[in-house]
Amino acid sequence: MYRKVPGLVVTSFVAATAAALTLSAGAHANPLGSLDLDPPADPVETPFCSIEYPDPNQFDRTDTSDVTVASPAGGQVRFTFHTRSQTSAPYTQAASVTWANLDSGISGVGNTSARVGAGETTLTVPVQETGPGRITAVTRVTNTADNGQDVTTLDCSSEYTVP
């Protein structure tokens, strides 16, 4: 079934899809087939694992990155690194995740980085399209002092079921 408009043919499916994608106040949508790098902030973050590592500026001091995971939509995962540091000099932290869906066999890698100073720093890896199912992931932080020579790298791993 379709409606005729001079120079335009609109099927019921197209009209229904357009209506479904129309944003209402406070709604969040992204175009079909696109990756949403800024999903809504409402998914619950679940503890995934924790990484303790030496401060690259002072190896006898320990800093921590607690990793959480959330599913902003079906088949999607967002990894967030909550870093707590006591550093006396800021350093660069590169956070990465290498994951594999144990049910489908697909895998991928996500990365991000930020400057870490004393206090809390949050690094969020762009949303990963894992598909639904059980995933295993290795999360890693690589911390580099400003001299470029003092580096610490540690990781942790766990599993998560993606809805």
In this predicted structure, what is the pLDDT of residue 37? 52
pLDDT score at 148: 92
pLDDT tens readout for residues 25-59 = 333 444 444 454 554 445 899 999 999 999 999 99
**Predicted TM-score of the model (pTM):** 0.74
Domains defined along the chain, listed by start: 43-162 (2.60.40.150)
145: nearest Cα among 52, 54, 51: 54
Q: Among 138, 143, 162, which Cα is nearest to 153's?
A: 143
| Alpha-carbon span 87 to 89, nearest angstrom | 5
Question: How many Å apart are CA 1 and CA 16, to the nearest integer?
Answer: 12
Do 128 and 76 form a contact (C-beta atoms < 8 A)? yes
Given this model, what pLDDT does residue 43 score?
A: 80
Separation of alpha carbons 19 and 22, rounded Å: 5
Q: Is the separation of the CB atoms in 79 and 69 below 8 Å?
A: yes
Measured distance CA(102)–CA(57) in Å, rounded: 38
